[in-house]
């Protein structure tokens, strides 16, 4: 591996660490991997992969910082979040350029991701209000009772490649606002934005050790899972990894929240505004090259006439799409994140053809002048997809949209409810009764009505059902406060001076 490539290290105890905790002067001996620009297919950086010793050093730093940070008043913690919000806005273009260079998403999508992350930082700045307990005077004669929300200690997060700025901001701002310290393990495919944001948090006033970032692979993940100093662990990624992290983390006594995969269906009713539905589906299916856990990869059209209209509209709009590097703001869709992922998505398209789905738009032959080695796959559209097909059952995570034809709303809902994933879904209709029935009876965690990507705002919580979420609490919003704190209830009595009381052997009550 060329030593000329810039090196991405770790952020531990308020410092950039360009080596392991044992060998800071031996970069050549470090495990590392290349970080590619997906628009060019060229390695532009390399990232160090933390060994167990380095992860343990990050945890030790967080453990050391915890007592003082726990004792810091919530208002002072909140002020750090407020300063960070301003710095994120000030450095927004710089952060988004990193997202484009390492993930490939177009500029508008990168800015939208960052803005959603900033909103979570803003919510974390409400900590003094969110952490207020409950108090009741005179629950019994001369007895007062109250509850407090106390931090857990060292917490950690493992985040995916598809939202390298936003998903970490779902986790650690609320964790540290609640008084915890944090160790973040971002995706090694696009790690730079997480490191830059950690440095901005330090600039905003976050003390050394409160937030640490370690880059790495499975060795780093397992080190976080197995270390009993880590009290809580949050994860976003694929379902097999989510299930692994949840099971192994719970076995070590951790509180674990693991968000997994998805296969989100959009139901289009015969009475829907087809033009608006098609426009919404275009962004939901092909935005960010389909690399979103809330993307829409399946349209369930109720009635053949509805399906024909939706398919015709999609074909017309796909023909107008511009595919190219995310650095060009005129493009609608950039490349897939890595060459292996590009090949995986391309194989899914070939699988769909073999299974008998009708490929109406084939994006496999797209060429971007000047970027012939980039990981570009154009929009793909299948019709007559069947529930037994692999392209229906599995999460593709690419710009591949399939249309399933059904006769009734109940048939559409049965397909959704029987699927192993239950992350997000939506319905397009003008019928309020149908929308209410759908919302009430669908077995999915996030539901949109004429909204294709029903991603909750920062002061609600994000999470799916079934095999899309392992754990009881959703991400960010009010559930984040619950996840990163533990409730303590205190009951207090001060007997009157000079009053002698006898022993009471019955169970205390208010009667």
Residues recognised as catalytic: 293
Assess contact for 366 and 379: CB atoms under 8 A: no
DSSP state of 160: -
Q: In which element (H, E) is residue 428 found?
A: strand 424-428
Assess contact for 337 and 38: CB atoms under 8 A: yes
Tokens, residue 13: 């105890």
User: What is the number of other CB atoms lying within 10 angstroms of the CB of residue 94?
Assistant: 11
CA distances from 78 to 173, 195, 210, 261 (A): 10, 21, 14, 33
Pairing of β 15-17 and β 10-12: antiparallel
- Residues whose CB falls within 8 Å of the CB of residue 122, separated by 6 or more in sequence, listed in order: 81, 85, 458
User: What is the number of other CB atoms lying within 10 angstroms of the CB of residue 6?
Assistant: 10
Residue 150, burial from CB neighbour count under 10 angstroms (0-12, 13-18, 19+): middle
DSSP state of 408: S
Pairing of β 143-151 and β 134-140: antiparallel
String of DSSP letters for 103-141: T---HHHHHHHHHHHHHHHHHHTTHHHHT--EEEEEEET
Rounded Cα distance between 433 and 506, Å, is 55
Tokens, residue 136: 């009741």
């Amino acid at each position: 591996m060329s030593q000329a490539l810039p090196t991405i290290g770790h952020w531990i105890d308020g410092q950039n660490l360009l080596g392991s905790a044992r060998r800071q002067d031996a970069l050549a001996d470090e495990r590392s991997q290349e970080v590619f620009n997906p628009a060019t297919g060229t390695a532009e950086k390399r990232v160090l992969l933390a060994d167990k010793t380095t992860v343990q050093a990050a945890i030790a730093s967080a453990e050391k910082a915890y007592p003082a940070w726990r004792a810091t008043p919530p208002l002072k913690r909140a002020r750090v979040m407020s300063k960070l919000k301003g710095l994120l806005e000030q450095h927004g273009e710089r952060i988004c350029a990193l997202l484009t260079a390492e993930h490939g998403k177009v500029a508008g999508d990168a800015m939208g991701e960052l803005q959603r992350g900033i909103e979570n930082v803003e919510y974390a700045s409400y900590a003094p209000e969110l952490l207020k307990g409950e108090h009741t005077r005179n629950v019994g004669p001369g007895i007062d009772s109250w509850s407090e929300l106390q931090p857990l200690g060292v917490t950690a997060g493992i985040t995916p490649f598809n939202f390298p700025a936003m998903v970490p901001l779902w986790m650690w701002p609320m964790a540290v606002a609640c008084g915890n310290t944090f160790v973040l393990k971002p995706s090694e495919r696009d790690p730079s934005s997480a490191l830059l944001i950690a440095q901005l948090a330090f600039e905003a006033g976050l003390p050394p050790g409160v937030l640490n970032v370690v880059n790495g692979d499975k060795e780093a993940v397992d080190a976080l899972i197995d270390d009993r100093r880590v009290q809580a662990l949050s994860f976003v990624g694929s379902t097999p990894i989510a299930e692994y992290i949840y099971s192994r983390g719970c076995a070590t006594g951790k509180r674990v929240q693991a968000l997994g995969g998805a296969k989100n269906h959009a139901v289009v009713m015969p009475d829907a505004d087809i033009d608006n539905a098609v426009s919404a589906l275009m962004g939901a299916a092909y935005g960010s090259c389909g690399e979103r856990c809330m993307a829409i990869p399946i349209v369930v059209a109720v009635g053949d006439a509805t399906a024909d209209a939706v398919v015709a509209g999609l074909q017309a709009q796909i023909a107008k799409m511009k595919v190219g590097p995310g650095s060009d703001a005129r493009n609608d869709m950039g490349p897939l994140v890595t060459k292996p992922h590009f090949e995986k998505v391309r194989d899914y398209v070939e699988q769909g053809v073999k299974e008998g789905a009708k490929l109406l738009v084939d994006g496999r032959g797209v060429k971007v002048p000047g970027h012939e080695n980039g990981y570009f796959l154009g929009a793909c559209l299948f019709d007559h997809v069947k529930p037994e097909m692999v392209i229906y059952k599995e999460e593709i995570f690419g710009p591949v949209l399939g249309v399933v034809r059904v006769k009734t709303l109940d048939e559409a809902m049965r397909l959704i409810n029987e699927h192993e994933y239950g992350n997000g879904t939506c319905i397009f209709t003008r019928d309020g009764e149908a929308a209410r029935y759908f919302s009430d009876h669908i077995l999915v965690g996030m539901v949109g009505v004429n909204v294709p990507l029903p991603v909750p705002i920062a002061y609600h919580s994000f999470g799916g059902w079934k095999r899309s979420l392992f754990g009881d609490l959703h991400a960010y919003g009010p559930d984040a406060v619950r996840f990163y704190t533990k409730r303590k209830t205190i009951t207090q009595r001060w007997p009157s001076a000079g009053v002698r009381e006898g022993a009471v052997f019955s169970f205390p009550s208010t009667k």
